[in-house]
Amino acid sequence: MNNLSETVRRITGAESVVLGDVIQSLWSGYGVIQRATLHGTERPSDDSAMPVVIKHIDISRARANPRGWAGDLSHQRKVRSYQVEKSFYEDFSERCNLRCQVPKFIAADELGDEGGWVIVMADLNFQGLDSRKSHVEQQEIHACLDWLANFHATFMGNSATGLWPIGTYWHLETRPDELGAMPEDRLKNCAGLIDRRLNEATYQSLVHGDAKVANFCFSESDPDRVAAVDFQYVGRGCGMKDVAYFISSCISDEAAARHQESLLDFYFEQLQVALSGRNSAIHFPDLECEWRELYSYAWADFCRFLAGWSPGHWKLNSYSQQITQSVLDNIDQS
């Protein structure tokens, strides 16, 4: 991939491309995310310079996993995830409005000899979304939940053609090695039932699939405004997968337990507003009833993955263990 600037120039139609700083490396070293400036793009502006972000994916060989999970299955899952991300930006991202903003797609290309892909997107930093956070306050949590509600409303009932048939990076079918590494306990024995319950939900949308706080871009001038990035694991699913995973990423177990109902109340309020604005014929009380029940199943499903992938992970805390136990008790009684 020595001719990145030439590839970007060719697929965008720019007269020239100036590569900028590398923002970060991709997981397991599968490429980089890098800033650049396009010149001479013929856009209607007095300034012909266009700031962009390039996702530069190299799949020419398998890499070692930072946590020790490697091999052909891991490699093929990552390859598929980048194919999915390219499809999302090309075929789905235009439907996302400012209430569930994503980077504007500019161009993409598949590199020869199965080398990977280049995806070019508008730089959110130049749209006022230049803040990344590891600690968030209530207003920022609400902004992310509002984004998720609008994203789920936008794609409610979508068939996810070209994306993952079942979204999230921890989906059971794609994680047999992690399942095998789990201790022989009730959670492992019930993994298939939990997965099936989520997959057979009446109401399905697209889920982001990796909706952690690190994948949201914030505006310092407008705390109610966010955008999301990293759509490698977007696919069909119950929206509670995103909500549970997001909450797990940004607040403590004590706060998650204390604010569970108020956070869910806020999410469902925003989801109802978003669906009504789209003239949806969905009977919202039925959707809310089903998804509220599946919130605990979404937690249990993610905890199943962590128990095999990283059994000492900090997210396997008292709250997540308690909510997982409630699901197992419910299964036993059914």
CB 225 within 8 A of CB 144: no
- Ranges of residues in the chain whose predicted pLDDT is under 70: 1-2, 28, 42-47, 61-70, 112-114
How much is the pLDDT for 334? 74
How far apart, in whole angstroms, are the C-alpha atoms of residue 314 and residue 133? Answer: 19
CB-based contacts of 78, cutoff 8 Å, min separation 6 = 27, 28, 30, 59, 232
128-333 classified as CATH 3.90.1200.10? yes
Structural domain spans, the chain = 4-125, 128-333
Predicted local confidence at residue 1, as pLDDT: 42
**pLDDT for res 74:** 85
Lookup: tokens for 75: 């490699």
Distance CA 54, CA 22 (A): 9
Q: What is the 3-state secondary structure (H, E, C) of the chain?
A: CCCHHHHHHHHHCCCEEEEEEEEEECHHHCEEEEEEEEECCCCCCCCCEEEEEEEEEECCCCCCCCCCCCCHHHHHHHHHHHHHHHHHHHHCHHHCCHHHECCCEEEEEEECCCCEEEEEEECHHHHCCCECCCCCCHHHHHHHHHHHHHHHHHCCCCCCCCCECCCCCCCHHHCHHHHHHCCCCHHHHCHHHHHHHHHCCCCCEEECCCCCHHHEEECCCCCCCEEECCCCCCEEECCHHHHHHHHHHHCCHHHHHHHHHHHHHHHHHHHHHHHHHCCCCCCHHHHHHHHHHHHHHHHHHHHHHHHHHCCCCCCCCHHHHHHHHHHHHHHHHC
Q: What is the pLDDT of residue 112?
A: 59
Query: Is the Cβ–Cβ distance between 122 and 53 less than 8 Å?
Result: yes
Asked if residues 190 and 236 have their Cβ atoms less than 8 Å apart, the reply is no
Cα-atom radius of gyration of the chain, to the nearest Å? 20
* CATH topology for the 4-125 domain: Phosphorylase Kinase; domain 1 (3.30.200)
